[in-house]
Every structure is written in structure tokens, then in C-alpha cells.
Structure 1
Amino acid sequence: MNIHTSTAKAFKIGVACLALTAGLGLTACDEKDIMNPVPQTSLQDTFLFDTPARVLGQVNGMYAGLKSGNFFGGRFLMLSDIRGEEFINRLQNVFTGYDAWNHTINSGSNDALTTWSSAYATINLTNLVIDGLAAHPNVVDAATTAQYVGEAKFVRALCYFSLISFYGQPYVKDQGASPGVPLRMKGESTPASNNLARSTVAQVYAQIIKDLDDAEKALPLQYSTPLLTTTRAHRNTAIALKTRVYLNMGKFDEVVTEASKIVPSAAPFKAPSGVANEMQASVATVFSGSYTTTESMFSMPMTELDNISGQSSLGYEYTVNQEYNLNPAGILGNAAWRSTDARRTMLRTSGTTVYLTKYNKANPYLDYVPVIRYPEVLLNYAEALARKSTPNLALATTLLTAVHQRSDASYTFPATATSTAAALTSSIWVERRIELLGEGFRSNDLLRNMLTIPSKGTAPSITASQPEYIFPIPNAEISSNKEL
């Protein structure tokens, strides 16, 4: 990741001596150290946390884990989208998500393993940071320690939310009573603790919320540059993720409580404190102009020397190799998505086939991958307002309209689309499909509402009662964890 330049350094410190003492020709360590360096693959905890720069290297390593091509660098978002009805698979390639698209994943499938292994690897990095800071309390000051722990808890929460969204039954099915995933809360450097039973879905969600509450208190209000503010977690990032998590849980009052911290009760909608998060005037700015605007609350950055390439890149999947085209019977054909909508400029038509070009950079793939954008928060807020026990349809409609009219200024929602809670909720779901297309939301939006995954092309529909509704635990975990 371009802002995390200390990561590589942190993994090179095992070579015994880094420099000669200037002018004297004296080494900074003795001959024994030079001839017997600490192996780079087994760096001791003492070395990893012995200077502020090396501590920062470990923090940066967490973000690098998130950016893995199999995780938020690309593949996780792709798998999250293609399970829904918006995309048609063209090449039947199991290495580019065909099993997920076709609902033929089994425990041995590549698609069952990638998110699981990437998420738990990153979770372990966060736990090692938290444990390491506790074991070395005087390397960085107390305020910096609190911030780093807050960042670790944010990253850990995002990882567990990703896992429970794929591998656990929806929370609303039984208020989280179903089996979830193992909660690993300590850093591991050996396989000694591999065996760990699954926590319930409710227990996993409780840990996610606890981590995000802690992160909100510890994270900085903002960073010194727009780049850092976009690619490292700040307070508003944690709040925004909580709106997503509570929406998944069907806890609409809690969504409203969190969203109101960063969304005013009237337009213009702009976060009143911390980073001044707001929608940009044009959606094109966010995806092809500047990746570090205040709309982008958390993104995975790319540079020419550090980007996700090949079959995990969203640019490769959707734009270059065209593994998937848009389903004419999906959101592409919805009347609310008019030809005048600026979001249609992120589509390309070849004959009668339409492709998503939201990620339009060719190799090297330099489009930042969006994880949280401010319009999502507005739509989370709007849905919660429409669905809570005492709805506020007026504000929900205003928020929905703000998102839609940013890209199609002349569009007006008909009264039939907003006059009842049910109709307004349906309109918000349509808007999510337009605004967040290709950003990893569709299958989760279906599952969190216990809706059938619609058929598309040759892929069948999947109901909430079918085992294919969620991903199976991969064989690699089954073979190494005897508590499952």
C-alpha cells in the first residue's frame, strides 16, 4: 500500500546490522550478530516492537493484509457481488468466481477458501499488534498506542464482519443463534491453538460492535493528508461501519443513532465533525478523478509499484478480461436508472452486451478499491429511518433523493415509491443496487433480508433454506481445527 512504506522495512530488520558507524568504520553490532542474523521469516517479537518505526510497520501490515488480492484488494468484493443477480458469467472460470456465481461452491472450492484464509491472516496481524503493544508499553507514547489499538480493532471488526457475512446465517434469521465462525482474539505464531469452536452469529456480531465502539473512542478525528484520511481508519470510518453492521442485524434504531453522528438532519449532508465527509458533486470524481476526496471514507490504495493484478483485480475481472457482463434483467433494466444518470457513464456497451467500467484503469490496475463511501451511509440511514418502529419517511426520502439526484438531477421519485415504509424501503434497495454496483454489496443485501438470491443466466435461484445460501467452511480449516 502506498502510504504504508514501513511495512517492508519491518520485515527486513532481522538482518543483524543495518549500517556502519559513520566515519569510524565500526559496526553497530559484533561479528557474532553479523554471522548469525535473526531469520527474516521468524522475527522475534522484541525486534518487531523495539522502535516506533517498527511498531508502525506492524500497523501498516494490517492494512496490507486487508489489501490482499483475495480480500478487499478485489476478490472479496467480486464474490460478494456476483452471487447476486446483477452479473452474467461469460467464461466459466473457477479461478474467477464461477463457483460463487453458479452456487456450486463446496468445502474444497477456491472460493470457499480465499476470504476465510485472508480474513483470518489479517485478524492474526491485528491481534499481534494489540498483544505486542501491550507487551511493549513504552516504545510509543500512550496516545499513539491507543490510536494503533483502535486501528487494529477497526480492521479486526471489518474482517469478522466479512467472515460472518459469508459463512454465517443471517442475524435476523434467529437473532444470531446459529453457528458463526471461530473468534480468535489472541495473536498466534504457532499452530498450537488451531482447535477452536465456532462462536454463535450473535457472539461474533457482539465482538464486532465492541471493537468498533472501542475504535470510535480511540481513532483520530482525521489525519494530516487526504491520502491518509482515505486509507487509514479514523473516527467517522468506525461510525460508518457500525451503520452497516447494525443494518445487517436489523437494529434500525441503532443505525439511526450512529448515522446521526456523521449525517445532519437536513441537507446539505456533510459530517459535522471529524473528517468533513460528504458526497462529491460528481460521481465521476470519485472513480476517475480523485480517489482521496471526503466521499471516500475508507479505500484500498494502488500505485504502479503496489497494486492488485491478474485474476483478483476488479479492473481485470470487469473491464479488461470481461469475465462478467451486466445482466439485462438485473438493475441494468430498472426504469429508475435512466439514460440521463451519470452513473451510466461507468458502463460500456459492445453490441448488445453491457460491461461495468467503474474500475477502468488497465494494467497496472490503479483504481482504488472503495470499502466505505459516504453515500452508503446515507442509504443505510434512509433504510433504517424507513424501517424502524417509528418511521421518519420524510427524512428517509430526502436522503434517498440526495443520493439519486447527485447523478440524475431531474429525477423525482413518484409518490407511490415513497409514501409508505414498504414502498420507500423498496426504493432504497433499488438505489443501493445502482449506487453501489460492483462494490461488494448485493449478495449481503439479499441475505441480511432473508431474500431469495434470484436466478440469472444458467445459475439457479437460491432460497434462504438451502445450504448454498452461505459459504461452506473450507477444507483447510476443517482439517486443522478439530473443534469444528
Structure 2
Amino acid sequence: MRNAFNVVKAIDDGKVNATQAELANYRGEALAAIALCYFDLTRLYGYPYAKDNGASPGVPLLDHAIGYGETSTRSSVAECYEYIINKLKEAITLLSNSRNDGHLNSYAARALLARTYLYCGKNKEAFGTADMLINDLKSTGLYYLVDNAHYADMYSWGNKLGAEALFQVSNTATSNPGRDGLSYMLHWWGYAAVVLTDDFAQKLKSDPADVRNQLVATYQDGGDHQYYNLLLKCPGEKGYDSPSFDNNYTVIRLSEVYLIAAEAGLKAGGELRQPALDYLNDIVRRANPNASVSDAEFTLDRVLDERAKELVGEGHRYFDLLRNGKKIVRRGGKHLPNAPEEIDWNYYKCVLPISRDEFTFNPDMEQNEGYTKE
């Protein structure tokens, strides 16, 4: 965020030598990056909007890179989401409509705006933003849903920045997180520290025709001889026979936009219910062409179930359950030996504590409930 704010200031100070179109796009990228960072900070440190209509503390809101000795107070979650929405709206007017892999363009910012609306309960706005984006992309063909036959290929090492990748963090052979990266955590050749629960694996396997089964593999650990279900979304250059370091990390892809439209339209109801169901079935039928969800089956739990299957490993399930007031059930075996099995938004550790370092600079900063400042 500091870097992004510095880019904006450099543009304002006339220190960036570029055309007006380039300057507008640079500013738009910086504003969208700031909004994205604030979105993640808000959902990590602030309680879900639906718990109290955003009244609880979120994070400090700034319009510049904070200076030495400067302090700020925490704004409410509602104020944070409003800030994020305004930043994204401004960014969208500035950003290019061209495909710019590894960078934020107008389509990525619009997708993030739809996600933000969903998180703060603005369901008609979330549906409208997602619906318009989907239809615009159908007309341009810049991004599109990968079909059933090529679904598993979407995650191959050589298919970075594919058809659905609205925004990915690009990693290269020389610039990547190495063994600290998520891909190495997932890989059997690496740490194999992030695995699928048996419950989730069985949920997928209950429909053998679901193409997403191709992204699950069973691995036996040579040390403890236990079996683990591995997610195959981050293969190495030679598939799962080589270590995985430089995979791109997906921030948002087109499938999520369809699922945003499905959830938001369901919640809004009325005339939006049927198009929302159609968007859900686009994802369901892509996974299994012979499957579909009926109107009677079109419930929030069914949408969340589809989000779990489609977006597994992409950082959504915890927040999906939390923001909808659902219980999070954690049953995993040796990697969760002492964890509580069920938590919800009333469990104080569902959000992170403010770091004690913050109180060194600002003793008046409010701590999250249940945590201390020491």
C-alpha cells in the first residue's frame, strides 16, 4: 500500500514521464491495489459485516503513505468497505480494458468490486456488477470459462495466466517465494503441509463424473505411512514429479464472478433469482455436463458448497462461512490435533489480533476483543 500511495503521489508531483493514458492506467492500478490490500486487511482484522452491519472496528483508513510519528485510529468495518468500493470505482474509470497479464485492469477491478459488494451485503449491486462483467466478457472474448475438457489443464504449470485469470500474482523462476510459497506447501515433493480433509475429498468423489476430481490425489507419507489428499492446483514444471516454486497465485478468476452472481442474486431474490440460478448451473454443468441444480435445491448452502468445490485452495472457504454466519468445522487429524472443532464469528480468534508493535507507535489503538495489547 505504501508503494501504491507513493506511485499516486509521484504522478501528482509530475515525476512520472508517460502519456496521459499511461498515467491514468498507472494511477488506476495503484488505487485498485490499495483497495485490494484494504479488502484483505478488513476481512482479516475486522469481524464480518453481517455480524453487526459493519459497526465493529476495521482498520485505519489513509489517503497517503503514513509518515514517521503519524498515527491513526481504526475505522469501522462499514467505513472500510465504503472506502474500498470508492477506490475501486475510481480505479475502474482509469484502468485500461486491455488484457495485461500480471497487472490489474478494469475487468479485474470490476470483479473485485463485485466481491466487495457481496462481502458487505450489497447483493443487488454485487449481482449487477458481476452480471454486467460476465456479459461484457462474453462479447470481448478476452476471458472466458474454460470448458469441461480443458478444466484440469487450466492448472498445469505451463498454462499460467489462462482464460479465467482476471488477476494473478505472477511468479518467475528468478522471482518467487521458494519454499515459503503456498505452492511448495501444497506439493507432495515439498512440505505437503496443506492437505484436503477427508470430508472434502469424499464430497468431490461422491460425483465421480465431476471433472474437479482430477485435481485431487492421494499420497502416502513415507514417514508416518498416513494417507493425505493433495490438491493438484500448483504442479511443478514437470507436473507433480518436480518441486513447485514459481506458480502464479490466483487472486480472482472468472469462475468466482459467476458464483458471486449466483450468491448475490439468490440473496436479493425476486427477478434476480432465476439468472442467479443460471449462473450457478453454468459452473455446475461445466464440472459435470449431466448435473444441474433445480430451483428447489437453490439454497445458500448449495451455493456455498459449489464455491467450496470450485474455489478450493484459492483462499475463500473460511471467509465464505464466516461472513454468512455459518459454523466452521475443522476436523483434520494430526495437523489439527488441538484445534477447536467448531468455530463461528462469536469465537474471538476468528479475526486476527492487532500486532503489539502497533501499540508501541499508537498506545490508543483499539485491540480486538479477547486479545491483549501485550
TM-score (norm 2): 0.86
Distance 1:335 1:140 in 2: 50
Contact 1:164 1:204 in 2 (8 A): yes
Q: Which residue of 2 aligns with 1:280?
A: 146
State which of 83, 86, 92 in structure 2 corresponds to 1:216. 92
The 3-state SS of whatever aligns with 1:322 is coil
Alpha-carbon displacement from aligned partner over 1:159-196 (angstroms, at most 9, x marks no partner): 000000110011112221111111122124x5221x21
Q: Which residue of 1 aligns with 2:19?
A: 141
Q: Which residue of 2 aligns with 1:339?
A: 208
Q: Which residue of 2 aligns with 1:129?
A: 7
Q: Does 2:362 correspond to 1:481?
A: yes
After TM superposition, the runs of 4+ consecutive aligned structure 1 residues lying more than 4 A away are none
Deviation at 1:137, TM superposition (A): 6.1
- AA aligned to 2:58 is G
User: Any stretches of 5+ residues in structure 2 without a counterpart?
Assistant: 221-226, 237-241, 366-374
Q: Does 2:191 correspond to 1:321?
A: yes
Contact 1:263 1:378 in 2 (8 A): yes
The 3-state SS of whatever aligns with 2:198 is coil
State which of 93, 114, 118 in structure 2 corresponds to 1:247. 118
User: Any stretches of 5+ residues in structure 1 without a counterpart?
Assistant: 1-122, 224-228
1:42-121 equivalent positions in 2, closer than 5 A: none
Q: Which residue of 1 aligns with 2:138?
A: 271
Q: Does 2:173 correspond to 1:304?
A: yes
Q: Which residue of 2 aligns with 1:196?
A: 72
Q: Which residue of 2 aligns with 1:205?
A: 81
Q: Which residue of 2 aligns with 1:151?
A: 29
Contact 2:216 2:230 in 1 (8 A): yes
Distance 2:12 2:312 in 1: 41
Distance 1:145 1:473 in 2: 36
1:174-193 equivalent positions in 2, closer than 5 A: 174-188=52-66, 190-193=67-70
Contact 1:309 1:316 in 2 (8 A): no
Q: Which residue of 2 aligns with 1:43?
A: none
Distance 1:391 1:350 in 2: 47
Q: Does 2:240 correspond to 1:371?
A: no
Contact 1:304 1:364 in 2 (8 A): no
Contact 1:318 1:325 in 2 (8 A): no
Q: Which residue of 1 aligns with 2:286?
A: 406
Deviation at 1:138, TM superposition (A): 6.8
Deviation at 1:451, TM superposition (A): 1.7
Distance 1:337 1:430 in 2: 13
Alpha-carbon displacement from aligned partner over 1:112-167 (angstroms, at most 9, x marks no partner): xxxxxxxxxxx111111111111116732322221111100100000000000110
Q: Which residue of 2 aligns with 1:390?
A: 270
The 3-state SS of whatever aligns with 1:334 is helix
Q: Does 2:350 correspond to 1:452?
A: no
By relative contact order (CA 8 Å, sep 6+), the higher-ranking structure is: 1
Deviation at 1:293, TM superposition (A): 2.3
Instruction: Give the % identical residues.
Output: 27
Q: Which residue of 2 aligns with 1:428?
A: 303
Q: 1:138 to 1:302 in 2, by over 3 A?
A: closer
Contact 2:285 2:291 in 1 (8 A): yes
Distance 2:350 2:271 in 1: 30
Distance 1:316 1:424 in 2: 34
Alpha-carbon displacement from aligned partner over 1:315-366 (angstroms, at most 9, x marks no partner): 334432111321112x322268522222111111125431112111144512
Q: Does 2:315 correspond to 1:440?
A: yes
Q: 1:403 to 1:336 in 2, by over 3 A?
A: farther
The 3-state SS of whatever aligns with 1:404 is helix
TM-score (norm 1): 0.67
Alpha-carbon displacement from aligned partner over 1:92-123 (angstroms, at most 9, x marks no partner): xxxxxxxxxxxxxxxxxxxxxxxxxxxxxxx1
Q: Which residue of 2 aligns with 1:172?
A: 50
Q: 1:468 to 1:364 in 2, by over 3 A?
A: closer
Name the Cα RMSD after superposition.
Answer: 2.1
Contact 1:171 1:202 in 2 (8 A): yes
The 3-state SS of whatever aligns with 1:348 is strand
- AA aligned to 2:168 is S
Deviation at 1:389, TM superposition (A): 4.1
- AA aligned to 1:158 is L
Q: Which residue of 2 aligns with 1:49?
A: none
Q: Does 2:231 correspond to 1:356?
A: yes
Q: Which residue of 2 aligns with 1:4?
A: none
Q: Which residue of 1 aligns with 2:102?
A: 231
Contact 1:311 1:317 in 2 (8 A): no
Q: 1:164 to 1:317 in 2, by over 3 A?
A: same
Distance 1:238 1:302 in 2: 21
Alpha-carbon displacement from aligned partner over 1:375-399 (angstroms, at most 9, x marks no partner): 0000000111111042533322221
